[in-house]
Structure 1
Amino acid sequence: MLLTTLVFSCKPKSFNEPQISLDNYQIEEGFELSVAASEPFIEAPVSMDFDNKGRMWVVEMKGFMRNLQGTGDDIPNGTISILEDLDHDGITDHSKVFIDSLILPRALAHVYGGLLYAEPPNLWFVDIKDDQPINKVLVDSLYSDGGNVEHQPNGLMVHIDNWIYNAKSNFRYQRKHGEWIKEPTSFRGQWGITKDNFGRLYVNTNSTQIMGDFVLPNTINKNVFYKPEAALNKTLTTNQRVYPLHATSVNRGYVEGVLDEDSLLINVTSACGPMIYRGDAFPENYLENAFVCAPEANIVKRNILSFENIVLSATQAIPEQEFIASTDEGFRPVNLFNGPDGNMYVVDMHRGIIQDKAFMTPYLQEQTAVKKLDTIIGMGRILKVTHKNNQQVSPIQNLDKLKSTELVDLLKRKNGWFRDRAQQLLVYRQDRTDEVVSALIELLQDTNNDITQIHALHTLNGLNVLDFELLESFVYSSKNILSLCHAIVLLEQFASVDRVASVIKLFQELESKDDAFIDLYILSSLGNWVSLAEEKLFPLGHNLSKKYKDEPIFQEAFINSLRDHEEAYASYMSTNKEPLSSVVFQNILETTLSNKKQNKKNFIYTKKGVSTDSRTEGYAVYRNFCATCHGLNGEGVENLAPPLMNSDYVSNSPEKLALVVLHGLRGPIHVNDKLYEFNMVMPGLANNPEFSDEDIQNIILYVTNAFSGNGAILDKEKIMQLRKQKPEKDGGYSEEELIQLQIN
């Protein structure tokens, strides 16, 4: 009896895990695809993060496009859920809600012992106690104020410099001494953000697979009167081809060049969720490959990054073959993440409709209805990609229980997830004991691992124990180019008059290495030093500028360091009868001085929030004031109003459409050769003070895009003229009047 009891007590628990078939999915040879989580445990996931126990936390945007009408997006049904694998077989068998009643939540990140998450328009932070949120703090009330659901900030990625970066945003965030800091950064991407081991940031837009910065963030954009272009937000994939397995339904598939003769999508139209692979479970040649989601084509792409001096590029890994491809039109990969097990995780929203109503054309509405894609709802998946030679399944250790010195050891791990999280925890703990600091300094001496050195530098900086002397010693002794560049960037914060001579000597020593990477970061990091002793630093900057006279990246780096000292530099050069380094720099300097004179700043220093696009504004007005009679889908309402979908009133003349919107319409009327004899009169908006010329402009753009497929833009001057062009009788235009009307 005792033996039987022991046997049953040792038997692992059995859980009812969903069985999801992936028979219609293809993945690159050598890899396997499995389901790590699925419905009923999650629905409509759009982003995720792993906690310090290795559990997945998932953002569920359940309210997005639940039907063709787009209704229900204002219902607070979004959640952030914790997924658990209690039997440790790699498949989610339990979930619990951490936060509910959210409206279209979109991003999250584990930081500072709690959770940062975005629910438009706000960015929130909560502490975590027993898997429950406490001490809710509003970090930013303008995080995503305005904009369309497809065009609002997202990402929330903690970076190696201890700042939190976003996509579709020009701000970064950090918490110091209990206070949240928000400051400008370069505007990047649309949906999803990632990084490489050095610390460059990568994003994309719907029509561009991968974009990236050639330099570390916030190292070349500090001159408020110059907007750098040579090194930021560069398109890395010159070829945007995709290779789906089946005919593709996309928003403007009727436009020539979108689909081929077999109705296969030619170029990406909904690229999102990029990921640079930084794990340790794939073969070596996959390290720092760029993976990209293309949900409209039901694929995940793989590109090989090339690092040639300063410039980056990305090319399709295997010609005419995708990393993952499926004939399942519910497969909607929207985000990719490196996992603590070294594998790649695919966030599959698994939804039929992924095009927001404000942008949807009649063509896609019809395709969606015919294929019944609107019935794919209430689902969601997290897929795991493993390599056949590395499939171990084991729970990770709870990082919260590790000593700080054990976390320091994790900075040496090959898997970037552990390095990132160990650094974050060390900075959060602020453990400045001699044992921890000494261990970090010891890592700086590991000349065989420059990536570990970079993490150690920024961890020391985050602990506020980094100083000029330590950096100076490191620069003189280190032979690793990548970590030297980070040290140069970090040196600038310690600028003081008594250190000017030392740093000039140091930079001259570095310049003698004749390395373009080092020279670039010297040129971009002179700013604080120039402000202290401009005439002593001008010759150093000038010599480096002249060395790379025809390369705009270096010239933009120099103007970054000359901020607030452009006139003094020009005067210095003139006094010493020394010409500027090049025509390239002269043009950049003249542009900067002109912008300064006009107080024309780089928009990242003036832009405070997300701008809402015209179609989204137009949709909001249409939904609130027009849809009651014409229907959300523009199909009309029986005995009330005729259809707008494919109506000649919508497709033929935007000016006449504007006249109807402004001054109203009297029946009877013909729409697509069908007579509608309504007794009611459609009222115009011209005399309603709530509607500006811009509102009318936005309504026209939305209606023509949504119901004819060809969005028309009328300028405000034209709308002002049309306001004055009134019908013969009160109560609106008649059909006959509109037919006879000649529009100038």
Structure 2
Amino acid sequence: MTTKRPVKRAVTFFFAFSAFLAGFRFISSDGPRFSPTDYVVEDGFKLNLIASEPFLKAPVTLDFDSKGRMWVVEMIGYMPNLEGIGEDELNGRITILEDRNKDGVVDQSKVFLDQLVLPRALAHVYGGLLYVDGPKLWFVEIVNDKPGRKTLVDPVYAEGGNVEHSSNGLMMNIDNWIYNANYHFRYQLKNGKWRKEPTSPRGQWGITKDNFGRLYYNTNSTNLQGDYVLPNKAIRNNYFKPTIAEHQRLASNRVFPIHQTSVNRGYQPGVLDEKGYLKDVTAACGPLVYRGGVFPKPYDLNAFVCVPEANLIKRNILDFKGLQTSARQAVEGKEFIASTDEGFRPVNLFNGPDGAMYIVDMHRGIIQHKAYISQYLTEQLGTKKLDTLQNAGRILKVTSTATKPNPVPDLSKATGNELLALLSHPNGWLRDLSQQLLIQKNELSLVPQLVALAKTGNEFLTAIHALYVLEGLNALTFENLSSIIAQSKQPETIAHAVGLLERFATRERVPKMKSICTNLMAQNSETIDLYLAMSLNAWLKLSDAAFLPVLSIIEKKYATQPVVQEGITSALAGKEEQYLASMNPTDLLKNNLTQTIGKRQKNEMNPIYVVEKNAVDNRTKGLKLFRSICATCHGADGKGIPELAPPLKGSEYIDGSLKRLAAMILHGVSGPIHVDGKLYQLNNEMPALINNKDVSDQDIADIIRFTQNAFAKVGKGISAEDVKKMRSKKPEGSGAFTEKQLLESDFDN
């Protein structure tokens, strides 16, 4: 299917502008129109609309192909109404957007894949497309912009939880591994086979990286999180889980919207300020470390974050000090972009081929999933008719007024030497893609130039890209890595190189590696010492005598730095007792090693090495159970069904004692009952679940928690233990509870 731009765009714009002057927003049949006056953008930048309906609907993420075209994931099925009914429809799709006449605005779209269930991620890798359909992760070959052969990469990739808590991201990092948000595995296609390895779980929605390869992410209630170290370096010890090296909150959660905010927990004290403005993020997502190379210098490596509930985008300045990273609000009291348009829902940000920043604006009213949406927010959305804003969507482009974006290149036609030159380009997107294309093209003739490039140093860390092209080409050797380590003046390059050197560990190379360690420690670099320590695991298995003393020197040098001590604990996997017995560790490391030995004895591994898929969260489980058990009579929206069951909203049985509610679910209800002052003459009993072995006490607690969130005036909690106690609170006689018994019984004592 191909969609082209309407011919009468100028006429439409005239009427839209006239309507704005008349004091209201013009809505065409294609959806809401973009009005720049609805947005306050930081000085020195401008915001342009480059794609909207009818070319796309409900976009949630995108990626650019080697021709610079946008491929957009459209999650059309997400919350189609306030009840969230219909999310399993086969209406998701992946669409290719093109600007055919090169005027900067999309004028054609064509569907690449459709009939998908809640798709939420994609990545152009290995000459094809990695994407998510329902719970499954697929790789599909691309043949003339059409899907070719498909390969199932992971059947349980997005199992568990609702769509807001299922795996997404799919970002190729500089180390040639694909990482995710909200999943503890990473992926790689190597020598024709897909590899799946444990990694630390990161964030909730969206993932990004800096030039070094550290990862950044967030959760709905945290503006920005990140790792102090490169991925998979501090988790080499299966019985140790780092708490400092990874998952650090980097910045304040304070937010500065420019209008009163409708948010899920707005009724709770402290969520909104005295003017009704949101105080801290509640739906942060889609972070981006800017690496585009065309914004003014102070914006390089800034971390931008989507805050869709407050209709804004934050800018955080990253600070790199020693082995730690922090972030701070760029302009106190003001956001990079803030809008008065409550339909502006930025959910993802990306560096583009031209160096600009691209915003994926889902542009809809409802952005809270049914499993978590409160009655308070439901009423707010309904009052503002935001629930009617569906099937819209925008891609926005942010550019600097001081510099021009670069032309969008077509790297599909680039030669090997052209791609080699692009490894030094200021635009990180171009460097990343050139690295991958050199590997895909199997450019073995360029190995000597790549080795030479890996010995150089610049602010863009080009040498690291060169290292991983060599890795992807299977062209690394112990000799060329040793040469790179010896000649490089850049600690970041050496950090990656010593990690890559570990795969060449043999007993014959122990003396040479010991000499490398001595030379590196003489450089007195925190970065080099840390990554050297974390890269000695394979060498320790060959010679305790050679390398335990190396770790001991580093340990004593950084005795009070927990990041280094966690790195050493990671490297000592299986050697903890030897180190304790022979190296007299300082307190931090001694504590780490003692705890690790205890966990090994109890066989308590880091969960990433045990758990295969994400578990369903309790709130989503409660929603699913409610829909399967309760909605048949009470309705999926809880409004009740005549002659079957009364409504739940406004019910004193929902707003009252939760133990009474648990007893009702366990033992059933019969006869007439008053709800919210109205008598309901029920012809059928509410069935009891006490003898249903498939429904546990925890299940009933989850159902109640969902009803509290969805229908109660003020939500309360209940435990499985509380539910269990209600099993003995049986009604008199052999039947279900009557209204009289419910009102007269004391369930809370």
TM-score by length of 2: 0.94
SS of the residue 1:359 aligns to: coil
Contact 1:104 / 1:120 at 8 angstroms: preserved in 2? yes
Q: CA deviation at 1:673?
A: 2.9
C-alpha root-mean-square deviation of aligned residues, in Å?
1.5
Q: How far apart are the structure 1 equivalents of 2:176 and 2:608?
A: 20
Q: CA deviation at 1:190?
A: 0.4
Answering whether residue 338 of structure 2 is matched by residue 328 of structure 1, we say: no
Contact 2:456 / 2:489 at 8 angstroms: preserved in 1? no
Give the counterpart of 1:140 among 142, 154, 157: 154
- Unmatched segments (≥5 aa) in structure 2: 14-33
Q: CA deviation at 1:278?
A: 0.1
2:647 is aligned to 643
Give the counterpart of 1:614 among 610, 614, 618: 618
Q: How far apart are the structure 2 equivalents of 1:712 and 1:570?
A: 49
Q: CA deviation at 1:337?
A: 0.2
Question: Residues 548-559 of structure 1 correspond to what in structure 2 (within 5 A)?
Answer: 548-559=558-569
2:574 is aligned to 564
Instruction: Tell me the amino acid that sits aligned with residue 432 of structure 2.
Output: D
Answering whether residue 328 of structure 2 is matched by residue 315 of structure 1, we say: yes
SS of the residue 1:546 aligns to: helix
SS of the residue 2:444 aligns to: coil
Q: Deviations over 1:455-486 (max 9, x none)?
A: 00111111111111111111111111211111
Instruction: Tell me the amino acid that sits aligned with residue 78 of structure 1.
Output: G
Instruction: Tell me the amino acid that sits aligned with residue 315 of structure 1.
Output: R
Q: How far apart are the structure 2 equivalents of 1:389 and 1:170?
A: 41
Answering whether residue 495 of structure 2 is matched by residue 474 of structure 1, we say: no
Give the counterpart of 2:444 among 412, 423, 432: 432
SS of the residue 1:385 aligns to: strand
Q: CA deviation at 1:628?
A: 2.6
Contact 2:294 / 2:405 at 8 angstroms: preserved in 1? no
Q: Deviations over 1:302-353 (max 9, x none)?
A: 0100001111111110011011111111100000000000000000000100
Q: CA deviation at 1:220?
A: 0.9
Q: CA deviation at 1:632?
A: 2.1
Q: CA deviation at 1:389?
A: 2.2
Q: 1:449 to 1:299 in 2, by over 3 A?
A: closer
Q: Deviations over 1:590-641 (max 9, x none)?
A: 0000001001100111110011011101101111221232222222223432
Give the counterpart of 1:227 among 232, 241, 244: 241
Q: How far apart are the structure 1 equivalents of 2:740 and 2:6?
A: 74
SS of the residue 1:554 aligns to: helix
Q: How far apart are the structure 2 equivalents of 1:14 and 1:590?
A: 69
2:499 is aligned to 489
Q: CA deviation at 1:16?
A: 5.6
Instruction: Tell me the amino acid that sits aligned with residue 592 of structure 1.
Output: T
Question: Residues 111-122 of structure 1 correspond to what in structure 2 (within 5 A)?
Answer: 111-122=125-136
Instruction: Tell me the amino acid that sits aligned with residue 502 of structure 1.
Output: K
Instruction: Tell me the amino acid that sits aligned with residue 529 of structure 1.
Output: W
Q: Deviations over 1:104-149 (max 9, x none)?
A: 0000000000000012210000000010001011000010112111
Answering whether residue 35 of structure 2 is matched by residue 25 of structure 1, we say: no
- Unmatched segments (≥5 aa) in structure 1: 1-12, 574-578
Q: Percent identity, aligned pairs only?
A: 51
Q: CA deviation at 1:422?
A: 0.5
Answering whether residue 211 of structure 2 is matched by residue 197 of structure 1, we say: yes
Give the counterpart of 1:340 among 338, 341, 353: 353
Give the counterpart of 1:258 among 248, 271, 284: 271
Q: How far apart are the structure 2 equivalents of 1:442 and 1:503?
A: 21
SS of the residue 1:225 aligns to: coil
Q: How far apart are the structure 2 equivalents of 1:398 and 1:332?
A: 31
SS of the residue 1:358 aligns to: coil
SS of the residue 1:682 aligns to: coil
Question: Residues 359-508 of structure 1 correspond to what in structure 2 (within 5 A)?
Answer: 359-392=372-405, 394=407, 396-433=408-445, 436-448=446-458, 451-508=461-518
Question: Residues 32-181 of structure 1 correspond to what in structure 2 (within 5 A)?
Answer: 32-181=46-195
Q: Deviations over 1:335-392 (max 9, x none)?
A: 0000000000000000100000011111011101101010101100000001112345
Q: How far apart are the structure 1 equivalents of 2:277 and 2:637?
A: 27
Answering whether residue 660 of structure 2 is matched by residue 656 of structure 1, we say: yes
SS of the residue 1:638 aligns to: coil
Instruction: Tell me the amino acid that sits aligned with residue 452 of structure 1.
Output: T
SS of the residue 1:314 aligns to: strand
Q: 1:15 to 1:463 in 2, by over 3 A?
A: farther
Q: How far apart are the structure 1 equivalents of 2:486 and 2:390?
A: 60
Give the counterpart of 2:720 among 699, 703, 716: 716
Q: How far apart are the structure 1 equivalents of 2:670 and 2:460?
A: 75
Q: CA deviation at 1:62?
A: 0.2
Q: How far apart are the structure 1 equivalents of 2:126 and 2:197?
A: 18
Q: 1:201 to 1:722 in 2, by over 3 A?
A: same
Q: How far apart are the structure 1 equivalents of 2:139 and 2:233?
A: 28
Instruction: Tell me the amino acid that sits aligned with residue 337 of structure 1.
Output: F
Q: How far apart are the structure 2 equivalents of 1:461 and 1:420?
A: 14
Instruction: Tell me the amino acid that sits aligned with residue 742 of structure 1.
Output: D
Aligned residues: 722
